[in-house]
Structure 1
């Protein structure tokens, strides 16, 4: 016999309407929010004020899982009573287990400690919750996006009446979107009929040192590894235009149809800037879309001292620019620029009656959903626009100049150490180097750098990263904190040397014990 839904008894007693509403009302209570917010702001103020040199405290995931589970309410039937101590413990655990991006010991990654005002505006965005792909849902964010586009385009140099900008969630998504626009321009039939009708396999040309998101985007687009044309780079990771031309010609002879050349403005590994003017000429000769992945380095456009590293950017067709890197905003916040705004509409050729207006008006002219992947999109432009509105360009330029200068200082200091070897001269705020004491076996250099990096990370004072350069690991610092001084760099150098010497002694002892064991 089949029971109706009304016959099924819930294992939990139904709360009364008053009980249910009291818990629900309390969770949304503005007064409760005020008290919670003040407690959290006070905790974050202390966090920002901690200038100690500290790195990453890497915790066993099982230990953290147990601690986090212990902070979850056991209540299952009713809305649990608010527990301020539980909230404080969650905030403390969140802050203490994260990378301390505001510490002078943090030199490991390309995301930044944010301008504090940007964090406050991000809180406002979370509370007012205005998804910004459509003007009617996020009026000010869409206007702010247009304003920031105009402000930043002054440094790019495109025709203000023809260019376009959209925000998107990260450089990887921006690169994918730009490649979609480039592919659809070169193969307009591919969106509806697929790649079967293309006259030869579509291909993209990239640097040997391109970010992995570019090759990932190629995979998403159905461009296999064999259709990725790898352009030769010099020892610093910059594309060699003189060697790139014959590689492109050879690819065409193999039947490939390259449609886009991707250049880098600040590679992830060494911060190298490709020669954009020469690559723009190359792209024109081969009728290629020139996309510049400037996720890290495009921000140097704001600096009078460093803008020349992007000479030729005005000739690009599109540009990826991460504000959560060298514009010091909360992640993610990426700006995708197009030289020709009609190309921005070419990435996605869709209509949907529930979101796209059949008759455009003054409001829908500010919509961006037809130009970016996301339908529901955070108003990520608001922290950047607010900080720019309050402080102006100089805040960003001064911090960028400071970071680049301290990286050059690190280069000078490390170059002067006889047991260290720098891998390149820094073009921005990224520097790679190795600890190589006299008599070091070259075959052991790779493992030594890896062990040094891992022990530094476990030590808790500094956080640095590593990268393989020409097959050999190198230590890598990314100077993102303007509070870093020469003394901090000297401390890091000393710690690397101490750890390196310790590793070598342990290795020598192990070899000695192994020999003695084999002799016995």
Structure 2
């Protein structure tokens, strides 16, 4: 009997040819270079899903019996469709969300990470990524302010997962038996509860649900006029929670709320947390990056007193998503979120290599080496890259606020603390009862036109237009162009919504 060949003989082997990698990469790079060079003002060009579905299906090979041969034109068409149907984050017309256009070099590093494919939860699988995590933890802690060697940092795939992980660590510290016994471990002390600001990110409530803490056990703390947690009124809310037999174990503060970019008073909340024996977690997914700037760092005054901190680098450090860092003030607390054994990944005898493992500290076993994009930019350009761009975006947002204040048909809702600004278009003839639906309709109409992309948010249960300045290509000229676009949309809506009686002006 003939022995089987030790070499693969399928036609799939050709897809792994390094020369094919170069050819396909050059196709992609040519399209992306053109994409990055386009500074035209454009927003989101929404495509009918049925049309896009048809276009995507038309690009698929019909070969099924064999591996289809590489078709450069097909690849170019696929990539072109991908680029054209995405949000143009590098355009001055994009002002709608908190994810940004990336520093192009970071995308190159992300490509390398995809090719070498080194999951980074364990040192042996991703050596440099784990070393880079240690370096970035130390570098960024220079701005947080903890004693070197006493804190810990782990990367997670997104701020939502970081918030969940921190809340698990906080719960397990206050309810040590909960991991093994579940709700039976609550005892006579009351039901576990989490205190949050009224504008907290929805991921915190989701995390509570995942942990078995119902929505009724989330204590929402009142806000002040700046939409920050009001510390004095928070005390009364915590007292009321205790009367309801809720045992609050964690206070979640925000450093840059998603709604308006507000920064809670961390130093005052830290004092309150100590007074009530609460874990203080800071969701700084958006705003923690301000720490890198000497001019903006005071927004997070008191951050060194937090027990944990979520920090998204894929927001205001301009790297591909996801890249989130979860910091713990006490390094021992980083071991508290998960408590289990798995012989196939966790070594029985720690050594110099396993000391850098993070698999026992984060939910993910297979985790992208996301830190590589951030560390490479830091290594190549230093912290000033991030500080300068962030400072520009915050100055731009303040100037946009000043412009709105001078326009009688616009109403600002807050003084921006970072790069998020919420406002309403309110022409003189608009009745108060119509303000909500008017803002929603304007946002939809502006989006459909495809020149600008802005978001909306409800502030005090009334819709507002929301811009997030993430692109340094944007200037005040572009913001004034946006206001003109909003006015045109508003005039059209008022014209179509008036009755014939109103349009003629007759009584």
TM over 0.5: yes
C-alpha separation in 1, matches of 2:321 and 2:501: 47
1:75 is paired with a residue whose SS is coil
Report the RMSD for the aligned CA atoms in angstroms: 1.7
Following the alignment from structure 1 to structure 2, what is the Cα–Cα distance between the partners of residues 507 and 353? 67
Cα pair 2:175 2:185 within 8 Å, conserved: no
Does the CA contact (< 8 Å) of 2:27 and 2:72 recur in 1? no
- Whole-Å separation in 1 of the counterparts to 2:365 and 2:420: 35
Contact kept? 1:48, 1:102, Cα under 8 Å: yes
The answer as to whether partners of 1:20 and 1:78 remain within 8 angstroms in 2 is no
Residue 79 in structure 1 maps to residue 60 in structure 2: no
Rounded Cα–Cα distance in structure 1 between residues aligned with 2:108 and 2:185: 51
Partner of 2:9, secondary structure, is: helix
Please list, as runs of the form range in 1=range in 2, the aligned pairs for 1:119-518 lying within 5 A after superposition. Answer: 119-198=107-186, 199=188, 200-509=190-499
The whole-number CA distance in structure 1 between the counterparts of 2:35 and 2:226 is: 37
Contact 2:90–2:101 under 8 Å retained in 1:
yes
**Deviations along 1:397-446, whole A, 9 cap, x unmatched?**
00000000110111011111111001111000000000001132000011
CA distance in 1, matches of 2:57, 2:227: 45
Matched positions, count: 501
CA contact (8 A) 1:23 1:81 kept: no
Q: CA deviation at 1:129?
A: 0.2
- Aligned mates of 2:443, 2:403 — CA distance in 1: 19
Once the 2 structures are TM-superposed, how far is the Cα of residue 21 of structure 1 from its aligned partner?
Answer: 3.0
2:133 & 2:267 partners in 1: Cα distance?
28
Contact 2:261 2:418 in 1 (8 A): yes
Deviation of 1:508 (Å)? 0.6
State the match for 1:111 in structure 2: 99
1:194 match: secondary structure: helix
Give the SS at the match of 2:204.
Answer: helix
- 2:321 is paired with a residue of what secondary structure? coil
TM-score (norm 1): 0.94
Contact 1:20 / 1:79 at 8 angstroms: preserved in 2? no
Contact 1:236–1:270 (CA<8 Å) still a contact in 2?
A: no
Classify the secondary structure of the residue corresponding to 1:167. strand
**Corresponding residue number in structure 2 for 1:9:** none
The answer to whether the aligner puts 1:47 opposite 2:23 as a matched pair is no
Q: What is the rounded CA distance, in whole Å, between the counterparts of 2:191 and 2:13 in structure 1?
A: 59
Asked if structure 2 preserves the Cα contact closer than 8 Å seen for 1:112 and 1:324, the reply is yes
| Contact 2:404-2:412 at 8 Å conserved across structures | yes
Unaligned 5+ segments in structure 1 are: 1-15
CA distance in 2, matches of 1:496, 1:21: 61
Q: 1: CA distance between counterparts of 2:248 and 2:407?
A: 46
**TM-score, length-scaled by structure 2:** 0.97
For the Cα contact (< 8 Å) 2:168–2:211, is it kept in 1? yes
CA contact (8 A) 1:180 1:347 kept: yes
> What is the CA–CA distance in structure 2 between the aligned matches of 1:147 and 1:394, rounded to whole Å?
17
SS of structure 2 residue aligned to 1:21: coil
Unaligned runs of 5+ in 2: none
Question: What CA distance in whole angstroms lies between the structure 1 residues aligned with 2:362 and 2:212?
Answer: 19
Runs of 4+ with deviation above 4 angstroms: 16-20, 510-513
